[in-house]
Structure 1
Amino acid sequence: MTTSTIDGGRHARVAAVLGALGLTALAGLSLASSTKADSSVPATGDQGNSLIERGRYLARAGNCVSCHTAPGGQPFAGGLGFETPFGKLYSTNITSDPDAGIGKWTEEQFVRAVREGVRPDGAHLYPAFPYTAYTKLSDEDVAALYAFLKIVPPVSEQPPQNEMGFPFNQRWALGLWKTMFFDAGRFQPDSAQSPEWNRGAYLVESLGHCSACHSPRNFLGAEQTSKAYTGGEYTDKVVTGESRPWSAPNLTSAKNGLGPWPVEEVATYLKTGRNSFSETHGPMNEVILNSTRHLTDADTLAMARYLKSLPADEGAIGKPASEAVLSAGEALYSVHCGTCHQPNGLGAQAFDAGAKLVGNPVVQASNPASLINVILYGPHLAKLPGPKRWKDMPGHFGDKLADDEVAAIASYLRNAWGNVGGAVTEAQVARQR
């Protein structure tokens, strides 16, 4: 991989990976590049003639609204809370309000915030706002985003104050963090690759910041670039309304990642939330519903092409469970899961069947948090347009199974039918309760 690692932006809210602060509000500006015939950045499709309309595409594709809208709040007015290992952060107001929002910001101030992580008052932004990825944005895209956000209707609402304890509330220390972990610079295309590949790399690595969610982080919150896209963890409130960890799966071409998925299947998933392997659920719902499904077919295919080119890396899999645990898990699976998902884990093509578990990246993720959440609380499927591929999970097993039983089923799923995954422990299940 010749370009810098991607991430994932937390999602939509996913973009919010660890939350957003200062300007984290922009934590979802993804996906659209220069319409200019410029060799430095792959060209984008026809998004209209105006700079504002192009910025609208960027902001919608980037899912800014998911991170910058609190439940029941006005769009882009901020106030959505994010739990991080360092305290609680709230997304900022990025409407055109001159006092609560960014209405007074000059374009130069906006550019510095997006590319350097510095507020107009000179204070550093927390790296939860992915300026580490946005630094790669083209001049044209930053200008388009600024033009669009300046016409967003003003909302005079101030988000709550961040709840960061000492020493994490000392912004000056972020200058040291940047010295260690931040490399500023524009996206540089790879001349050995096709324009489509470079377009996908630009969308994933800068605007999409996919690595923000899909890469592990070190104890200081920086992405471990040597393990980029092998999976990460973030906290969200989907399903139960309570904050709990979720895991983002491996996006490399490894067997426990996107290896079994053809390019077209990856693109279909980004565009529709469904393919023959999986259907979106949990925190990824917002990424699909508010972001990637609004991209052009050419853009989602380019992203898929780039993701499929990522070198295979299974990540930190861990050792499989003992034969006794796997045997117990198989028995529990047969009783509670086998009817819908089938004994072979393939589900079925008919609507009355459960989803496919074979080769499922969520099932095989290095961190089993999302798999455990699905077993305990159900998948929380998105309300996608079009016919469903599989039926909804008829319930959940959080009240029916003990922690050791959930761990046994999860361990079995991660090792059956050729799947690759480490043992799931009772402590990991208890953490998700």
Structure 2
Amino acid sequence: MTSLPRVIVLLTLTALVVMFAVVLLPDRSESGDGPLVSETLNNAELVQRGKYLALAGNCASCHTAADGEYMAGGLAFETPFGTIYSTNITPDKTTGIGSWSDWDLLNSMRHGLRPGGEHLYPVFPYTAFTKVSNDDVAALYAYLQSIPAVERLNADNKVTFPFNLRPLMAFWKTLFFTPGAYELDDSKTDEWNRGAYLVEALAHCSACHTPRNYLGAEKTHAHMSGGEYQDRVAPGVYKPWSAPNLTASTQGLGSWSTDDIGAYLKTARNDFLESFGPMNEVILHSTRHLSEDDVQSMAVYLKTLSPIDPPATSDADPVVLGRGRTIYNLHCGTCHLPTGEGDPEMAPRLNKGSLVVQAENPASMINVILYGPEAPKADLPQKWREPMEEFQYILDDAEVAAVATFIRHSWENRSAVVTSDQVARQRWE
């Protein structure tokens, strides 16, 4: 009985906020009498340009489900608020966006609004796409209208109350969202501005690499300092992954050169590591298809991000470090070497410069130890002589925590201690 008044209060407050959002908050949609594009490009040129921009935005990775048809949606995103499915963005007129105008696409990307004014959830990263220029939105529209139409109904989202009330997104936007196209910084070079536009707008890197608050908004004061999100560790199984720090911190990109960043984005590899896990899709479906100039500009921009360092770490328990050293020497040292420097044919380095090892959040490192790194599957030569095995059936939680802690506190690494509870959180069996 005591919980009933609380429920009534919650429902009343929710209703008041919804009314406020619907009645008082402004409609920010845009419209025009003519076509959105201002450049004198013919449709074929627009389509080709839009195809390139769709690659830069990695649209296919999110809007194409496993074994699904191209851009027909249906990919599940697990969030703290429930499951949200990507939508059909093929030109089918009933289930896709075939009936949309170019202005409709602009409003979805610039303001997070569907035709008719319904709010989109920021799982569709309009918080970054808002910066995309009108001309580029027009090119994307031309491309999306040119791909094969697929009739596929959009799946119903499974979002918990009260977050399933879309009008509440108007209130969320008032608190956390500022729409507007990217504005050039005249004090910077053209290369820097191009990189900023790609990283902050089309590639929406901050969507994964920036931590979020309790309402799912990016923490602007910690921009690009590392984030967490749910993604697949096994078929149908989702666990947290940590996106590393991309600022100039010594535990981020501070040790990487622009050439290191460019090589990673273009080939999924550099002298520090090879891509694995969710980043594979970003590289294989997006950045490796970009021009050398664009990849270089992204690297130039990323190297200018002011360092945001994680909190100072405490010393690890010597007993834990000793146990971790024994496990490392038994299972890891042959390939990664006792120095952690790795071997060009056997395994990547684990010493200073490995963003995954140095990350404040060890989720991705734990996933690699438990399940082995999922190497990029593409027309790339095999990097390592043998793939790393999975240790989920070999090491228990305390052992995984010990070896991870040893690696994160050895050589030139200084990252937070890993606990058994953190490992247990990543296990799925």
TM-score > 0.5 by shorter chain: yes
Helix, strand or coil at the partner of 1:233: strand
Write out aligned runs for 1:60-79 (5 A). 60-79=55-74
Equivalent positions of 1:145-156 (< 5 A) are 145-156=140-151
Q: Distance in 2 between matches of 1:340 and 1:205?
A: 37
- Deviation, 1:318, is 4.3
| Range moving further from structure 2, 103-112 or 294-303 | 103-112
SS at match of 1:89: strand
Checking the alignment, whether the CA contact within 8 Å between 1:230 and 1:250 is kept in structure 2 is yes
Name the CA distance, whole Å, in 1 between partners of 2:348 and 2:163: 42
- Structure 2 Cα separation of the partners of residues 244 and 132 of structure 1: 24
User: Conserved in 1, the CA contact under 8 Å of 2:58 and 2:203?
Assistant: no
Q: Distance between the aligned counterparts of 1:317 and 1:272, measured in 2?
A: 33
Match of 2:364?
A: 370
Q: Which residue of 2 aligns with 1:114?
A: 109
Distance in 2, Cα, partners of 1:148 & 1:319: 52
The amino acid across from 1:378 in the alignment is: G
CA distance in 2, matches of 1:105, 1:183: 24
| Structure 1 counterpart of 2:349, one-letter code | K
**Contact map agreement 1:227 1:315 (CA 8 A) in 2:** no
Q: Against the structure 1 CA distance between its residues 154 and 240, is the aligned structure 2 distance closer, same or farther, given a 3 Å change threshold? A: closer
Residue number among 339, 342, 348 corresponding to 1:355 in the alignment: 348
- Please give the per-residue CA displacement for 1:185-235, whole angstroms capped at 9, x wherever unaligned: 121121121110111001001111100000100000000011111110111
Residues 377-430 of structure 1: per-residue CA shift (max 9 Å, x gap): 100111243433333434111101110010011111111111121001100000
Q: Distance in 2 between matches of 1:304 and 1:35?
A: 30
User: Stretches of 4+ moved more than 6 A in 1?
Assistant: 34-37
Does residue 1:410 correspond to 2:404, yes or no?
A: yes
1:135 to 2:126 alignment: no
Q: Is residue 373–residue 388 contact of structure 2 (8 Å, CA) maintained in 1?
A: no
Higher helix share: 2
* 2:285 matches 1:296: no
CA 1:125–1:224: 2 relative to 1, 3 Å: same
User: Which amino acid is the alignment partner of residue 279 of structure 2?
Assistant: M
* Cα pair 1:320 1:411 within 8 Å, conserved: no
Q: Distance in 2 between matches of 1:78 and 1:164?
A: 17
Q: Is the 8 A contact 2:313 2:414 kept in 1?
A: no
Distance 2:206 2:199 in 1: 8
Matches of residues 391-402 of structure 1 in structure 2 within 5 Å? 391-402=385-396
Give the Å deviation of 1:159. 2.4
Mapping of residues 256-295 of structure 1, within 5 Å: 256-295=251-290
Amino acid at match of 2:397: D
* Structure whose alpha-carbon radius of gyration is higher: 2
Distance apart, 1:255 and its partner CA: 1.0
Residue 206 of structure 2: aligned partner: 211
Aligned equivalents of 1:357, 1:241: Cα separation in 2: 30
Q: Is structure 2 residue 178 aligned with structure 1 residue 183?
A: yes
Task: Report the AA paired with residue 190 of structure 1.
Answer: D
Aligned to 1:19: none
The runs of 5 or more residues in structure 1 that have no matched partner are 1-33, 38-47
Deviations 1:63-104 (CA, angstroms, capped at 9, x unpaired): 111111111110100001111000000000000000100000
Aligned-residue offset at 1:320: 4.3
TM-score after normalising by structure 2: 0.88
Kept in 2, the 8 Å contact 1:347–1:356? The answer is: yes
Matched residues in 2 for 1:319 and 1:170: separation?
43
State the identity %.
52
Query: Once superposed, what is the RMSD of the aligned Cα atoms?
Result: 1.9
Which residue of the other structure, out of 78, 91, 98, is the alignment partner of 1:96? 91
Structure of greater relative contact order (alpha carbons < 8 Å, 6+ residues apart): 1
- Number of residue pairs aligned between Structure 1 and Structure 2: 389
Task: List per-residue Cα deviations over 1:235-267 (Å, max 9, x = no partner).
Answer: 111445411111101101111111111101100
Residues 1:379 and 2:373 aligned together: yes
> How big is each residue's C-alpha offset from its partner over 1:32-77, in whole Å with a ceiling of 9 and x where there is no partner?
xx9979xxxxxxxxxx970110001111222111111111110100
Mapped contact 1:229–1:251 kept (Cα < 8 A): yes
In structure 2, the residue matched to 1:14 is none
SS of structure 2 residue aligned to 1:171 = coil
Alignment CA distance shift 1:386-1:123 (3 Å):
closer
Contact 1:197 1:306 (8 Å CA) reproduced:
yes
Q: Tell me which residue corresponds to 1:6.
A: none
Partner secondary structure for residue 152 of structure 1:
coil
